[in-house]
Amino acid sequence: MLVVPGDESLPVAAARAGNPAAWDALFRRYQLPLYVYVYELLRHEQTALDAVQETFINAARHLGSLRDDAKFGSWLFGIAHQKCAQHWRKPRREESLDESYSEQPDDEPLPADLLIRAEQEEELMTLLNQLTEPHRAVLLLHFLEDFSLEEIAGITGVGLGTVKSRLHYAKKALRELITEKTT
């Protein structure tokens, strides 16, 4: 069973004071989720490792600009997202499609609440691979750290409506996959 410590005892204040042990704890807490996020977006191991390392260095350099210690996680993922954005070169043609979903009601349970059976893992990964980077990013942020919509909007640098539409689209596709396989 994989154990990743929670956010209850994040030593952000100690890290701001320059405590290396605090930085070690913070890096240890986020290294794997950050790597998963970056890797699933970039699909390249070495690039993902480099991005994680640059994210850590940038975070250590600019932690003084973080006002709310409780938002350290989303702030860190935001830096990592920018590292990914630097590697993306293809145009964002799906933006207009996103907005068409933004007004739709979405009362269905969140995908993070769903449980994935062992035989569904590959299908889930296949689905993730089929999504575009923006949709995949929103879904990964929701899966990995259960960020709020506002936090995801801050990380990805898009509007709240766009985040809602992307999450709606990704959830719909995931739900269809799971219902197909279970029936």
Maximum distance among all Cα pairs of the chain, rounded to whole angstroms? 55
Give the nearest distance from C-beta 27 to another protein in angstroms: 4
- Total interface residues for another protein by CB under 8 A: 58
**CA 72/CA 78 separation, integer angstroms:** 10
- Cα separations (Å) of 147 from 3, 34, 136? 19, 13, 14
| By CB under 8 A, residue 73 contacts another protein | no
Nearer to another protein, 43 or 100 (CB): 43
**CA 72/CA 23 separation, integer angstroms:** 12
| Of 75-83, 95-103, 130-138, 160-168: span binding another protein (CB under 8 A) | 75-83
Nearer to another protein, 59 or 98 (CB): 59
* Angle between helices 133-145 and 20-42 in degrees, nearest 10: 140
> Which tokens belong to 106?
């979405």
Please calculate the CA angle 130-173-177 and round it to the nearest 5 degrees: 90
Which of 8, 9, 61, 96 is in the footprint of another protein by CB under 8 A?
A: 61
> Which tokens belong to 69?
């210690």
| By CB under 8 A, residue 72 contacts another protein | no
Nearer to another protein, 100 or 130 (CB): 130
Token pair 């709310």 is found at 68
**CA 108/CA 178 separation, integer angstroms:** 14
| By CB under 8 A, residue 138 contacts another protein | no
- Measuring CA to CA, which residue among 14, 48, 17, 15 is closest to residue 31? 48
Give the x-and-dash track for 2-31 against another protein (CB under 8 A): x-x----------xx-x-x--xx--xx--x
Give the nearest distance from C-beta 24 to another protein in angstroms: 6
| By CB under 8 A, residue 106 contacts another protein | no
Residues engaged in binding another protein (CB under 8 A): 2, 4, 15-16, 18, 20, 23-24, 27-28, 31-33, 35-36, 39-40, 45, 49, 52-54, 56-58, 60-67, 75, 78-79, 81-82, 85-86, 111-112, 114-118, 121, 124-125, 140, 143-144, 146, 154-157
